[in-house]
Amino acid sequence: MPKSIIAGIGMYVPANVFTNDDLTKYMDTNDEWIQERTGIKERRFANRFGETTTTMGVEAANIAIERAGITPQDIDFIIFATLSPDYYFPGCGVLVQRAMKMKEIGALDVRNQCSGFVYALSVGDQFIRSGMYKNILVIGSEKHSFAMDFNTRSRNVSVIFGDGAGAVVLQPTEDSNRGILSTHLHSDGDNAEILALYNPGTHANYWKEGLADYDDAEIGELFENHGMIDKGQNLAVMDGPAVFKKAIVKFPEVVMEALDQNGYSPADIKLLIPHQANLRISQFVQHQLKLRDDQVFNNIQKYGNTTAASIPLALCEAWQEGKIKEGDLICLAAFGSGFTWASALLKW
Ligand SMILES: CC(C)(COP(=O)(O)OP(=O)(O)OC[C@H]1O[C@@H](n2cnc3c(N)ncnc32)[C@H](O)[C@@H]1OP(=O)(O)O)[C@@H](O)C(=O)NCCC(=O)NCCS
């Protein structure tokens, strides 16, 4: 059975840099608080009307495809991970197919938030291993800036997130010293409402009271109405401390699961690329696993948390900086909304 290799990788971040000081023009926050709690110094925000989650993904994909030495017409499957899609439906995958003038190939969107890229990579890996596809494009992209509230009421959320995209091309290899060794996917839906955007949605307060105020109607319902918007019920919510507590347990656990399954220990890792949720979470994980500074890559300081884009962005930047060489043992690990968490262990 072949293994999957990352044959090409690309990243894209918008030109517009938004510093912590820039945020203070809109909300009651400050650079010191943000850096101390999250490590973030600045993030990128997309051109409001000139860029979308899909177009940023396409920018990253073009680089990944070129580096893989193929053309968009060679791609035989698209997997797109995002929580900020261009449309509620259809997904971004079909927009990539159209924008890149690809053949009438399959396109799948993954809705797994922060762990979306690792889930998408795992799905792609199964298709490569089974022999079904030979050139799979996996994209993680987010345009958070368009959906975030920049008032003080949402400051615990809006100071954290940024925009950007990363993409990889997966191809089969028979080289036993390279490729994705294993992927590990988990979820715990008990905490689904802790980090979420409830509306628009069809939940009708079924899972939890008070998530939305609906209009009086005998049949049908607008799943987003003016009242909800006025009350801010269409904004993302996050219980930050609860996320933090769970993340620092599940990150090391899922890294160790990947290492154990393949007979490795933390000392064998050349580079751990944790989802860039919060620098303090990454530092905690590093400490737990007793990893040296040079074994963990972080770039949240420059880009904030870019959710599904964060791992391919960090992986690409690390590779571009010469920190990843052929045959290196690389571990990807993510945790986030759902809760869902995941890891992938690969030999570059
Ligand atoms: C969000 C997070 C940075 C908040 O840090 P925290 O130390 O837990 O802070 P708290 O939410 O307990 O809030 C502490 C105080 O800071 C205030 N605060 C929140 N956001 C602020 C901001 N941007 N600027 C200034 N003050 C802020 C709060 O209002 C609170 O004030 P109070 O004590 O007067 O009530 C932190 O919980 C975190 O990073 N959690 C993980 C989130 C995450 O990774 N999400 C992505 C998952 S993939």
> Which is nearest to 162 in space by CA: 338, 282, 302?
302
pLDDT mean for each 10 residues of the chain (348 residues): 97 98 97 97 97 98 98 98 97 98 98 97 98 98 95 95 98 94 98 95 94 84 85 94 96 98 98 97 97 98 98 98 97 97 98
CA distance 166 to 334: 15
Q: How far is the CA of 214 from the centre of ligand 1 (A)?
A: 30
Helix axes 53-67, 92-99, angle to 10 degrees: 60
Instruction: Give me the phi and psi of 139, to 5 degrees please.
Output: -120, 140
Q: Which residue has the tokens 């920190």?
A: 323
Please tell me the predicted confidence (pLDDT) of residue 248: 97
Instruction: Give me the phi and psi of 9, to 5 degrees please.
Output: -140, 145
CA distances to 37, 162, 183, 238, 273 from 286, rounded to whole Å, are 17, 23, 20, 24, 11
Please tell me the predicted confidence (pLDDT) of residue 223: 80
Please tell me the predicted confidence (pLDDT) of residue 158: 96
Please tell me the predicted confidence (pLDDT) of residue 176: 86
Which residue pairs from 281-284 have beta carbons closer than 8 angstroms and sit at least 24 positions apart in sequence? 281/244, 281/247, 281/248, 281/251, 281/335, 282/39, 283/39, 284/248, 284/251
Counting ligand 1 atoms within 8 A of each CB, the residue from 27, 32, 117, 156 with the most, and so the one to mutate, is 156
CA distance 200 to 202: 7
Q: How far is the CA of 172 from the centre of ligand 1 (A)?
A: 43
Please tell me the predicted confidence (pLDDT) of residue 224: 82
Q: Using a 6 Å cutoff on CB, does residue 2 contact ligand 1?
A: no
CA distance 114 to 307: 4
- What is the atom index within ligand 1 of the atom nearest the CA of 23? 23
Instruction: Give me the phi and psi of 330, to 5 degrees please.
Output: -120, 135
Q: What is the pLDDT of residues 26-35, one digit of tens each?
A: 999 999 999 9
pTM of the predicted structure, to 2 decimals: 0.97
Polymer length of the chain: 348
**How, if at all, do strands 106-110 and 136-142 pair?**
unpaired
Please tell me the predicted confidence (pLDDT) of residue 83: 97
- What is the atom index within ligand 1 of the atom nearest the CA of 158? 23
> Which is nearest to 304 in space by CA: 272, 340, 276, 335?
276
CA distance 42 to 40: 6
**How, if at all, do strands 42-44 and 17-19 pair?**
antiparallel
CA distance 54 to 240: 28
Please tell me the predicted confidence (pLDDT) of residue 219: 79
Please tell me the predicted confidence (pLDDT) of residue 225: 86
* Contact indicator for 269, 259 with CB cutoff of 8 Å: yes
**190 exposed, middle or buried (CB, 10 Å; 0-12, 13-18, 19+)?**
exposed
